[in-house]
Amino acid sequence: MEQNNDAEGILVIDFGSQYVQLIARRIRENRVHSIVEAPSISIKRIKKINPRGIIFSGGPSSVYDKGAPSFDKRILDLGVPVLGICYGMQLIGKLAGGKITKSGKREYGHTVVRFKRNNPFFKGMRQKGVTWMSHRDKVTKLPKGFTSIARSENTACAAFLNKEKNIFGVQFHPEVVHTENGGKILKNFLFNVCECKRTWTMKSFIAQKVKGIKEQVGDNEVILGLSGGVDSTVSAVLLHKALGKKLHCIFVDNGVLRKGERDRVEKLFKKNIKLDLRVVDAEKRFLKVLRGVTEPEKKRKIIGREFIKVFEESAKKIKGVKFLAQGTLYPDVIESQSFFGGPSKTIKSHHNVGGLPRKMGLRLVEPLRDLFKDEVREVGSELGLAKELTGRQPFPGPGLAVRVMGEVTKERLNTLREADWIIIDVAKNRNIYNKTWQIFGLFLPVKSVGVMGDARTYENTIALRAVTSVDGMTADWAKIPYDILGEISNRIINQVEGINRVVYDISSKPPSTIEWE
């Protein structure tokens, strides 16, 4: 297959790498479209995608493991540039006729690599640099037509090239920040090797998506479960741009929302955007079914089931509905494809009202399913949404119910609401809100002795959780200045009744999670 000048984007084939989403995102950061597919992808499907380049990801397997994932060898003869990363490189080496053996010394972490710069892949690189290695196998015999273009202390072939077929392989991971100039290496592949064009912009995405939504929906009505978060807000505005009055949004006040959330959503969507918003007051229903429940996963399932019931009741009152819109994002799509036989991920079951499309005979509209979170924020900005909206931090679907440890009661929720409002207020005023991935409070039903004035107190505790992260998959606890922590603590203890102690969570993910439940 000759390289088609009309081809665009990069196809990433996932062999189980923990970094596969990162590879796809790094490509998109260069305004080049990327999609992730399974190793089982057919030649026919690849030709339909018509990529300008193909990247084989790393993976946890050895190429000689029984049942190790592989690819159709004919991909190497399509005339499309190929880059293999770690396991992907070893697999290319094996299938092309080379020899892969276990390394006598495993390379993991920071490794110095020396580069040969007489090729477009390492153009502009320094002679040597630090890379991030994570492997136990290595190429010990190059396939015919391949040459080594980099070496480390442990291997004579830290990268290879087949000049005739435009096939490259690297033993290290250029997509991670630990590799010096890893971004430059990927740019070289995208623009020097694959000759990609920077056409992936959110402005062009909006134009294409509006046209696609109109074609998909036609004259039918669409319903959307609106939570007020970034994903559902951007979905609503994008759908409204395409469909106008044919879009109907349902906002369920489940009683476990943040302070003022319902008023904020009504003001934004009813008064400013002026779309059809139906608000359902279901606080009493949710608190009733949560009464006495303390187990975290049980809370989540109860909230999910009750949400579906309330949403279904409201949806049935709208005539002519044929489509259900959801704020599914591309990471959800990647993780739910279950390439290697593992259990597929349940995508926001409490948000996407799982089961309803089939039960009500509805078809799905997922306007954001091609995007990563940072791209969703860009789309929101392009659509005219304020940074205060597009920059909102993630909020759990079950709301404050999973930030109240133990039983969920109205009294505890109100206490947490007030404390959480103070935390966010201080974070924004002291310019740390946008520097953290999430910052929030948790209600701990742990009473301790305190003193207020001349009186002894015996009251509850608020835990402060603040983390920094790129994508939420890993996170470090935020090193917030002591004076800001002091301000948060003083305001909560002085202004929130029933709280006499504030503690700060200094756990990172892993081993801890960001949320406590």
Q: Name the active-site residue from 37, 107, 175, 261.
A: 175
Candidate ranges 266-275, 373-382, 469-478; pick with highest mean pLDDT: 373-382
Q: Decide if 473 contacts 431 (C-beta within 8 A).
A: no
Active site residue 110: no
Span 300-340, pLDDT tens digits: 999 988 998 999 899 889 998 999 998 888 887 776 664 44
Q: Name the active-site residue from 86, 157, 196, 249.
A: 86
Span 370-426, pLDDT tens digits: 999 889 999 999 999 998 889 999 898 899 999 999 999 999 999 999 999 999 999
Residue 85's identity, in one-letter code, is I
Q: Name the active-site residue from 33, 107, 157, 173.
A: 173
Active site residue 157: no
pLDDT over threshold 60, residue 35: yes
DSSP string for residues in 423-490: HHHHHHHTT-GGGSSEEEEEEEEEEEEEEETTEEEEEEEEEEEEEE-SSSSSBEE----HHHHHHHHH
Active site residue 33: no
pLDDT over threshold 50, residue 4: no
- pTM, full prediction: 0.81
Q: Of 160, 169, 170, 101, which is closest to residue 136 (Cα–Cα)?
A: 101
Q: What proportion of the chain, given as a percentage, has pLDDT over 70?
A: 92
Q: Of 418, 414, 430, which is closest to residue 493 (Cα–Cα)?
A: 418
Q: Decide if 325 contacts 239 (C-beta within 8 A).
A: yes
CA 311 remoteness from chain centre? 26
Please tell me the distance from the alpha carbon of residue 103 to that of residue 140, in angstroms, as a whole number.
9
